[in-house]
Amino acid sequence: MLKESALTPETAVYRKVVPAGDYWVKRLEKGQVLRIVDLEGNQAADTLFFNADDPAERYSAVDTIRCQGNVYLGLGSKLMSTECNVMLEIVADLVGQHDTLGGACATESNTVRYALDKRTMHACRDSWMLALAEHESLKLTKRDITHNINFFMNVPVTPDGGLSFADGVSGAGRYVEMRACMNVIVLISNCPQLNNPCNGYDPTPIELLIWDPAPTDAA
């Protein structure tokens, strides 16, 4: 199911374009709404969520899949934490399907999946590690880099239970929007992957927008 947001960019309290291969990290307060925009289409935004008040609690793919009864995320999906609390809820979506299983690219996986000479290629895990090194106040380490969501990414489950990386189902200007149900730290790697069709072999920018809750929402 698709649903367009009633929010307009002009009323956002924050806007930023993130180039392909860069990271983005920010605290989102409870009630705020975050929109991730696929500016040119067929991009992948590898995203991690942490409880901003207790980062030991973080997004759980297992609990999210179990609670939704679905390996894909879309409108109405609740992103669950390792403590089975709702972290965020998807409140608008122009894509309809987001991946929970494909994981993030790393130098090691590039080597195993593609070729030895791909090891030196930039990967999402590199972006996350750089973010943690440049934001020591978050008190996060590489042990905290666990399950992630791949917004916009298309990873079909094959009949024999395997995974395949397919062309994206997103398009230019499409977005996913979620409301924070607790204070959260959002860490995104705008995927630089060049070896599979998750971003059309041509990584492109994304845009992030944040809105404060309406007075009725904050009450």
Best CA proximity match to 181, nearest among 18, 45, 53, 23 = 53
Question: Which pLDDT tens digit goes with each residue over 91-142?
Answer: 999 999 999 987 877 665 555 555 455 545 558 889 999 999 999 999 999 9
Average per-residue pLDDT in the chain? 88
Give the pLDDT of residue 113.
56
* Residue-wise pLDDT tens digits, 187-206: 999 987 766 656 677 889 99
Structure tokens at 122: 């930039």
Alpha-carbon distances of 118 from 171, 173, 199, 200, rounded to whole Å = 28, 31, 17, 17
Q: Which amino acid is at 125?
A: R
127: its two tokens: 């972006």
73's CB contacts (< 8 A; 6+ apart) are 64, 79, 90, 97, 98, 99, 100, 149
Token pair 């207790």 in the structure block, residue: 54
